[in-house]
Amino acid sequence: MTRSRNFAGYAEVAIILIAFALLWFAPLVVGDYWQQLGFRTLIYLTLAEGWNLMAGSAGLVSLGTSCFVGLGAYVAFGLLNGMGFPLPLTLGASAAAGAALAVLVSPALFRLRGLYFTVGTLALAELLRLIMVNVSAFGGASGIFLQNDPPALPVLFHYALGVALVASLAITACTRTRASVIFRAVRDDEDAAAQMGVRPFRVKLAAFAIASALAGMAGAVQGVKLGAIEPYGMFGLQWSIDTLTMVIIGGVGLRLGPLVGAVFLIALGEILADYPAAHIAIAGVILIVLIRFAPRGAVGFFGSMEQARRGRAAA
């Protein structure tokens, strides 16, 4: 078991590295439209990977993604404008800020279990947004502009690629190593895990902090691309809803769930771009149908179909 887990882990790292290396050359081949689309997919992939770690591995269902996206963007703008930080260092600082906020609020949030935790994260996101709206030092409701020009699109694409790579490798580290059994133990039965010596608080905090750091980085890159940020967009509930929808459509707790969900939802958005209302309605219908017939998402559904097919073939 351990050996096969190690092997699968190395194979996964190799696949990720190869895939991202190939994508690195995408701007040489494809035009602006596809780079824009790729950028959005990579940002959402990062958010969805983090969300999936929380929900799928530690059982934490969060509606607070937007809170960390916004925080990352505001921290990045502060450092870029105020102190002239280089962008890579700024991304690191945004990640650190996300993780720090997660640690700071965890004693309060982790008192809440299940649905109450979810509502708690939603409240946190709203709280932060209201602070940004009302404190003029942070630009108030009209937001902040980036003083220097944002980098060119291919450069931004590469930054998004880098952030998504960090996310993918972090998740591999959490799901393919011995840490994965600890995460799953807490998700399956927190009390029984505690009786095995696992400290559930720390394990949940680790998942929350990693997800928040990833969201902080993603927010920073997104903010820099926009060149101007304001609270309603960066702290918008849409970030949280989209992320959650992607992971549920793709498959909660499954390695490929976030990727499949992110690609699917963004492709759907593009196909129906001319009918924005239909887009939302169709995504909603798909979500309902999936939860009814494939509670483990698209990846889980096709996985069990494949298993059944093999079962028939064997019989």
Partner 1 sequence: MSLSGAPLLEASGLVKRYGGLVAIDHVDLTLASGTITGVIGPNGAGKSTLIGLIGGALAASQGSIRLEGRDVSRLAASERARAGIGRTYQIPRPFLDMSVEENLEVAQYSIAPFQSAASARREREALLERTGLADAAHLSAHALPLLRRKRLEVARALALKPKVVLLDEVGAGLVDSEITELIALIKSILDSKTAIVIVEHVIRVVRECCARSLVLNFGRMLVEGPTADILANDEVAAVYLGTHGAREKTPSRIPVSEEDLRATSEGTDAQRHLAPLIAPQETRSPAPALECRGVEAGYGQARVLKGVDLVVKEGEAVAILGANGAGKTTFARVITGALVPTAGSVHIGGRDVAGLPAHRIAGLGVTHCMEGRRIIPTLSVEENLRVAARGVDGSTARERLDAAYALFPVLAERRNSPGTSMSGGQQQMLAIARALMARPRLVIFDEISLGLAPVVMDKLYETLALLRQAGMTLVIIEQDVDRALALADQAYVLEHGAFSLSGKAADIAADPRLRHIYIGAEE
Whichever of 155 and 198 has its CB closer to partner 1, that residue is: 198
Write phi, then psi, for 289 (nearest 5 degrees). -60, -40
Instruction: Give me the 18-57 binding string for partner 1, x by CB under 8 A, dash otherwise.
Output: ----------------------------------------
Q: Which stretch binds partner 1 (CB under 8 A): 37-45, 92-100, 184-192, 295-303?
A: 184-192
Whichever of 233 and 300 has its CB closer to partner 1, that residue is: 300
Encoded tokens for 294: 């494939």
Question: What part of residues 200-259 is at the interface with partner 1 (CB under 8 A)?
Answer: 200
Q: Is 312 in the site for partner 1 (CB under 8 A)?
A: no
Whichever of 115 and 314 has its CB closer to partner 1, that residue is: 314
Q: Is 313 in the site for partner 1 (CB under 8 A)?
A: no
The DSSP secondary-structure symbol of 229 reads E
Instruction: Give me the 185-204 binding string for partner 1, x by CB under 8 A, dash otherwise.
Output: x--xx-xxxxxxxxxx----
Q: Is 303 in the site for partner 1 (CB under 8 A)?
A: no
Binds partner 1 by CB under 8 A, chosen from 6, 134, 148, 304: 6
Q: Where do runs of H (alpha helix) occur along the chain? A: 2-24, 26-29, 32-52, 58, 65-78, 87-109, 115-134, 153-175, 179-188, 190-195, 200-226, 231-234, 237-250, 257-271, 276-293, 297-314
Q: Rounded to the nearest 5 degrees, what angle is found at the Cα of 200, between the Cα atoms of 197 and 203?
A: 105
Contact 58, 202 (CB under 8 A): no
Whichever of 31 and 178 has its CB closer to partner 1, that residue is: 178
Whichever of 93 and 193 has its CB closer to partner 1, that residue is: 193
Burial level of 221, CB count in 10 A (0-12/13-18/19+)? buried
**Directed axis angle between helix 237-250 and helix 115-134, to 10°?**
150
Whichever of 57 and 121 has its CB closer to partner 1, that residue is: 57
Residues engaged in binding partner 1 (CB under 8 A):
1-2, 6, 178-179, 181-182, 184-185, 188-189, 191-200
